[in-house]
Structure 1
């Protein structure tokens, strides 16, 4: 039997499968603190004053939001999110860990507070990571003059501007991350150059050209983001700089899973 959904003055609502990604924000009329959770088959929103545990996992009849439906490694009820002391809290009750950031795994039996704004959660399976999108509506900015308004804007995560060429290269470089492969690593420069030569043979791609484009992006973002310069990372550096760049671009939603279509479109354009 499908789990019941409490009805409290429309404070608990279903999100349809075609709701779209939570990466691009919410309508301004949403009550601050409202929780939005979205899986591949839709999701749910819950007002902050409703006592309700949102359950997610792979068994659609046994959860409110389905994730990893075809992966038997994901638990039927893998976790839940509850309201606790003015914060939404993630609880992992499944076997697999849940990645909440580049450096934080919530293991079975553990919990983590969810911040305001967008947080992609990844259930880390042995063959694939399964995305569960979460967004907590941020408090409204108080209109107290230009200085306060400017200060509030600087707190928002920034979608970094990239040229079409830069976006193509970083998407190619970080495609394993965008595909949610387990333990992803950036492609090597040789792999990037080879793939781009196939996609755009008229542009004469080389390892050096691809590396130069990505280096320029790292240097530009390094004015605001740490961990993108060699002197900021302890040796051996290895793939760390490119890894940090890809994670920043993903967390800021500068690059999305949908951007993998750039590689497909490029290939189609040559057909």
Structure 2
């Protein structure tokens, strides 16, 4: 694999592991700046740096390590490069890379990355390995497109009540735990788990479904695929899958929210 590493002084930085997840944003940066985080840290690359970010299992041979202890992940699994003013993901590994939801980028294929936060997953037989990507989007308004120092606005996610967040985290916990091929819990499973978590409340499948249905209805004005009439049968888990995918992409729910399922200590 021929990977370009043309860099300009001062336009490429290493991000330490301690910087944390990119879900909560990033330091001030030029519009179009690429941030990539893996197992042990990541990279920040300016849009005009001429630098390709290589990721994969073998840490000495890549810029961003992902799936270090999983031999199913290729030593160099892919790279992200700048093409025609867009950042583009190339999968050069054997296993697929999954975007939020069900979209897959197979080996030998490419996909453009949106100017937003995008969690990518390398799908292996035993688990999915997370590679976080965020592309800085400039502040809206007159002249924002020409300001290299424009502030970056975090998507902020959708507004949820505390109760809605609890139910949705419970419903989508398999996604947050990065299980392979995750599916939403059933209404009965959600009710059982929340009933055990909050024994003083009356939980059943209908109550859990009603709360989630209201969130889907509210978001459907701006998000497609959340209403029965928008999805061809059979429905199965499609509506809830689409809802959870939207909440993950928008960073409305994040891995740290799993603490809500730990009881009073997790809520403290």
- Per the normalisation by structure 2, the TM-score is 0.89
Secondary structure of the corresponding residue to residue 225 of structure 2: coil
Q: Closer, same or farther in 2 for the Cα pair 1:144/1:107, shift >3 Å?
A: closer
| Partner in structure 2 of residue 148 of structure 1 | none
How many Å apart are 1:40 and its aligned residue?
Answer: 2.2
SS at match of 1:81: strand
Maintained 8 Å contact 2:57/2:69: yes
Measure, in 2, the Cα distance between the counterparts of 1:156 and 1:11: 22
Distance 2:86 2:140 in 1: 19
> What is the SS of the residue equivalent to 2:112?
strand
**Superposed displacement of residue 144, structure 1:** 6.4
Give CA-to-partner distance per residue, 1:52-95, whole Å, 9 cap, x none.
22110111111110001111111111111112222211111111
RMSD: 2.1
2:20 counterpart residue number: 20
Matched with 1:257 is: 255
Residue 114 of structure 2 corresponds to 115
- The alpha carbon displacement at 1:101 in A equals 3.6
> What is the number of residues matched between the two proteins?
255
Work out whether residues 36 and 132 of structure 2, in 8 Å CA contact, stay in contact via their aligned partners in 1.
yes
Superposed displacement of residue 164, structure 1: 0.8
User: Which residue in 2 is equivalent to 1:36?
Assistant: 35
Structure with bigger RCO (C-alpha 8 Å, 6+ apart)? 2
Counterpart-to-counterpart distance in 1, 2:16 and 2:100? 26
Unpaired runs of 5+ residues, structure 2, are 145-152
In the aligned structure 2, how far is the partner of 1:254 from the partner of 1:50?
A: 31
Gaps of 5+ in 1: 146-154
1:188 to 168, 171, 186: 186
2:168 aligned with 1:163: no
How far does the alpha carbon of each residue in 1:132-166 deviate from its partner, in whole angstroms, 9 at most, with x for none?
01111123434369xxxxxxxxx985611111111
Q: Give 1:1-271 correspondences, 5 Å limit.
A: 8-28=8-28, 30-143=29-142, 157=155, 159-266=157-264
2 CA distance for matches of 1:187 and 1:266?
Answer: 22
| Whole-angstrom distance in 2 between the partners of 1:183 and 1:72 | 19
Task: For residues 170-213 of structure 1, give each alpha carbon's deviation from its aligned partner in whole angstroms, at most 9, with x where no partner exists.
Answer: 10001111111111111011111111111111112111111111
SS at match of 2:23: coil
* Structure 1: 4+ residue segments shifted above 4 A: 155-158, 266-269
CA distance in 2, matches of 1:213, 1:139: 35
SS at match of 1:141: coil
Give how far 1:7 is off: 6.7
1:90-147 CA distance string (max 9 Å, x none): 11111110012424211111111112121111111111111101111123434369xx
Change in CA separation of 1:120 and 1:46 when aligned onto 2, cut-off 3 Å: same
CA distance in 2: counterparts of 1:50 and 1:144, whole angstroms: 23
